[in-house]
């Protein structure tokens, strides 16, 4: 809606109601004949409603209220003045005096005032005014429409040409035409002030296209390098802390500007102000878990590793001497170092508070590496074979025969010690097998003899200790191999130095 100080649409509801009545009688007043007291009183009674609305208005110092009050007072004055005039019959046209030319004196109007035609013209002017005032400010960007309004104003003025300007009715219509032109000028000024700056349309289109593309920032995926992670995080921080706020500020600066598509503006601002911050928050949360999760795990691993007591033979055995343990521990250390370096680069790129003291943790990686290497050397030097529980040659011979079977995959023993005596054991087990009509209950009674032997076998260039459980089942289930010695269990223990075999 167009804004003009003298004809500003009232913001106060009471003032707006008063103006509607005032405008009604402003349109009727030109047709009021001088001396028509009855009609004048009817108009004045109708205007009392406006007076009540204006008195009831809360704020009386606004331009809206002052404008309405002025129009009300001027209208009442004009109606009252016409009511006081005497109704005079039309005088006969005077004959020109002798010697005159018979032409009107210089400066006299060439046409008489036709109140009916003037009233119709005034109604057209007021309708044009109301129509222009109800238009959106964007409509004035249409040059064709503006030209139509200008031509309309010229047409209104042409209809007043030749009428006496001092006539109150003519003066009123001329004033309304002037107000219409004034409203157009003010609207054009407002339109120019609210037009989008040069290049704004193109920039909005680019921003819309950019923020509608969700793949502009790819998540971190392995394999990752610290340099890449730091650069990725840095670019994300610049986009989040500088680019997006700058784009949002620009969008707010062109809010409602003429020439920009409102839906495109709303969509783009929604993406910048809401959708993308949520996307980035989710992306950062995901990356924080992806990057810092392994870093925290690395810290816990280092905590446990550096607590290793070198004097505790069992702990050293489990940590570094069991098959592949030292290799696995060293691999975990490399993984921990990598995780800490990535987390450090990520934090440095984002410029946020450290979740860990990465420099200190990286130093602990080297401390843990040295500790494990020391534990492996010292632990291996202390490894010994267990003491023999018995020297029964029959048990030893049986163990050699069982381990020689290819199906067990055991190597040829360099040493064999019976480290657990022969024992008789038994147990009972039951199973229930459901059927279509009846369930089958099976009960098995297992009875067996068992003993354990410790063997030393070659594994590549190293000697390794194995513990083997030998069994002989007297009774068992339907699939139990009864009546023969078998290898029941076998596990690899640790390496042993050749010079320690007989110690």
Asked whether residue 138 carries a pLDDT value surpassing 80, the answer given is no
- Which pLDDT score is estimated for 469? 95
Q: What's the mean pLDDT in 204-233?
A: 83
Give per-residue pLDDT as tens, 370-420. 998 898 888 888 888 999 999 999 999 999 999 999 999 999 999 999 999
Could you give the C-alpha distances from 87 to 111, 146, 331, in angstroms and in order?
22, 43, 116
Measured distance CA(229)–CA(227) in Å, rounded = 6
Containing 440, the helix (H) or strand (E) segment is strand 440-459
The answer for residues whose C-beta is within 8 angstroms of residue 33's C-beta and 6 or more apart is 39, 82, 87, 115
Q: What's the mean pLDDT in 292-302?
A: 92
- Which pLDDT score is estimated for 167? 84
Q: What's the mean pLDDT in 287-299?
A: 87
Could you give the C-alpha distances from 347 to 48, 219, 221, 306, 419, in angstroms and in order?
74, 16, 17, 26, 56
Average pLDDT, rounded, for the chain? 84
Give per-residue pLDDT as tens, 147-201. 989 898 998 888 888 888 888 888 889 999 999 999 999 888 887 777 777 888 8
Give 259 or 316, the one with higher predicted confidence: 316
Q: What's the mean pLDDT in 11-22?
A: 83
Measured distance CA(37)–CA(58) in Å, rounded = 34
| Residues 352/469, Cβ–Cβ less than 8 Å | no
Q: For the sheet containing 415-433, what is the strand order?
A: 415-433, 440-459, 462-475, 485-496
Choose the weakest-confidence range: 70-84, 98-112, 208-222, 471-485.
98-112
Tokens of 244: 């997006």
- Which pLDDT score is estimated for 2? 46
Which among 144, 152, 160 is positioned nearest to 183, based on CA atoms? 152
- Which pLDDT score is estimated for 490? 92
Choose the weakest-confidence range: 62-66, 213-217, 348-352.
213-217
- Which pLDDT score is estimated for 300? 95
Helices (H), 194-306: 200-212, 226-238, 244-253, 262-270, 276-305
- Which pLDDT score is estimated for 188? 84
| Residues 416/391, Cβ–Cβ less than 8 Å | no
Q: What's the mean pLDDT in 424-431?
A: 83
Choose the weakest-confidence range: 6-15, 120-129, 131-140.
6-15
Could you give the C-alpha distances from 467 to 134, 331, 350, 413, 450, in angstroms and in order?
99, 27, 54, 11, 13
Asked whether residue 91 carries a pLDDT value surpassing 60, the answer given is no
406-411 contact pairs (CB < 8 A, 24+): 408/487, 408/490, 410/455, 410/457, 410/466, 410/468, 410/487, 410/490, 411/457, 411/458, 411/459
Q: How much of the chain exceeds pLDDT 90, in percent?
A: 30
What pTM was estimated for this model as a whole?
0.51
Per-domain boundaries in the chain: 5-86+111-193, 197-382, 393-500
- Which pLDDT score is estimated for 96? 45
- Which pLDDT score is estimated for 86? 66
> Which of the listed ranges 134-138, 290-294, 349-353, 361-365 does the model predict with the highest average pLDDT?
361-365
Label residue 31 by pLDDT band (50, 70, 90): confident
| Residues 78/132, Cβ–Cβ less than 8 Å | no
Asked whether residue 271 carries a pLDDT value surpassing 70, the answer given is yes
The answer for residues whose C-beta is within 8 angstroms of residue 306's C-beta and 6 or more apart is 364, 367, 368, 371
Tokens of 93: 């046209």
Asked whether residue 454 carries a pLDDT value surpassing 90, the answer given is yes
- Which pLDDT score is estimated for 1? 46
Give 398 or 259, the one with higher predicted confidence: 398
Q: What's the mean pLDDT in 452-456?
A: 95
Label residue 64 by pLDDT band (50, 70, 90): confident
Measured distance CA(136)–CA(139) in Å, rounded = 5
Choose the weakest-confidence range: 75-84, 139-148, 209-218.
209-218
Label residue 433 by pLDDT band (50, 70, 90): low
Label residue 103 by pLDDT band (50, 70, 90): very low
> Which of the listed ranges 336-345, 376-385, 435-444 does the model predict with the highest average pLDDT?
336-345
Report helix, strand or coil for 414. Answer: coil
Q: Angle 358-382/325-350 helices, nearest 10 degrees?
A: 180
Q: What's the mean pLDDT in 98-125?
A: 65
Which among 208, 350, 197 is positioned nearest to 272, based on CA atoms? 208
Measured distance CA(322)–CA(313) in Å, rounded = 12
Q: What's the mean pLDDT in 270-282?
A: 89
Asked whether residue 456 carries a pLDDT value surpassing 70, the answer given is yes
Choose the weakest-confidence range: 27-36, 150-159, 166-175, 254-263.
254-263
Asked whether residue 323 carries a pLDDT value surpassing 90, the answer given is no
- Which pLDDT score is estimated for 214? 67
Q: What radius of gyration, in Å, describes the C-alpha atoms of the chain?
A: 52
């Amino acid at each position: 809606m167009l804004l003009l100080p003298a004809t500003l649409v009232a913001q106060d509801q009471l003032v707006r109601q008063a103006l509607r009545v005032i405008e009604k009688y402003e349109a009727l007043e030109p047709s009021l004949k001088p001396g028509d007291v009855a009609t004048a009183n009817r108009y004045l009674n109708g205007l009392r409603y406006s007076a009540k609305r204006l008195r009831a208005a809360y704020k009386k110092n606004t331009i809206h209220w002052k404008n309405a009050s002025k129009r009300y007072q001027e209208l009442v004055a004009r109606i009252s003045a016409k009511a006081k005039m005497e109704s005079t019959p039309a005088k006969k046209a005077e004959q020109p005096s002798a010697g005159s030319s018979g032409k009107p004196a210089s400066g006299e109007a060439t046409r008489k005032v036709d109140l009916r035609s003037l009233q119709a013209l005034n109604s057209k002017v007021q309708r044009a005014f109301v129509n222009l005032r109800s238009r959106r400010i964007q409509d004035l960007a249409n040059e064709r429409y503006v030209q139509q309004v200008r031509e309309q104003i010229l047409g209104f003025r042409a209809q007043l040409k030749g009428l006496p300007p001092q006539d109150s009715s003519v003066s009123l219509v001329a004033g309304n035409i002037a107000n219409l032109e004034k409203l157009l000028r003010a609207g054009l000024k407002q339109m120019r002030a609210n037009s989008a700056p040069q290049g704004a349309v193109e920039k909005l289109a680019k921003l819309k296209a950019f923020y509608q593309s969700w793949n502009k920032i790819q998540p971190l995926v392995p394999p990752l390098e610290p340099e890449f992670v730091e650069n990725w995080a840095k670019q994300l921080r610049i986009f989040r802390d500088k680019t997006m706020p700058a784009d949002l500020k620009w969008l707010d600066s062109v809010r409602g500007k003429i020439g920009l598509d409102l839906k495109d503006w709303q969509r783009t601002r929604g993406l910048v102000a809401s959708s993308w911050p949520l996307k980035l928050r989710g992306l950062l949360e995901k990356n924080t878990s992806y990057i810092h999760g392994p870093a925290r795990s690395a810290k816990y691993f280092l905590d446990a590793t550096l607590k290793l007591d070198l004097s505790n033979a069992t702990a050293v055995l489990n940590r570094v001497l069991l098959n592949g343990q030292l290799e696995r521990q060293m691999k975990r250390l490399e993984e921990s170092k990598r995780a800490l370096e990535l987390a450090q680069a990520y934090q440095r790129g984002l410029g946020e508070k450290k979740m860990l003291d990465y420099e200190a943790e990286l130093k602990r990686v080297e401390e843990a590496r040295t500790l494990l290497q020391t534990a492996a050397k010292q632990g291996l030097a202390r490894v010994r074979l267990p003491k023999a529980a018995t020297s029964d040659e029959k048990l030893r011979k049986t163990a050699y025969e069982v381990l020689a079977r290819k199906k067990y995959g055991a190597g040829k023993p360099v040493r064999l010690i019976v480290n657990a005596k022969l024992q008789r054991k038994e147990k009972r087990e039951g199973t229930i097998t459901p059927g279509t009509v009846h369930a089958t209950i099976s009960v098995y009674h297992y009875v067996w003899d068992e003993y354990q032997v410790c063997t030393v076998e070659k594994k590549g260039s190293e000697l390794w200790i194995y513990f083997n459980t030998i069994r002989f089942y007297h009774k068992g289930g339907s699939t139990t191999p009864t009546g023969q010695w078998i290898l029941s269990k076998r596990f690899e223990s640790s390496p042993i130095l050749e010079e320690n075999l007989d110690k």
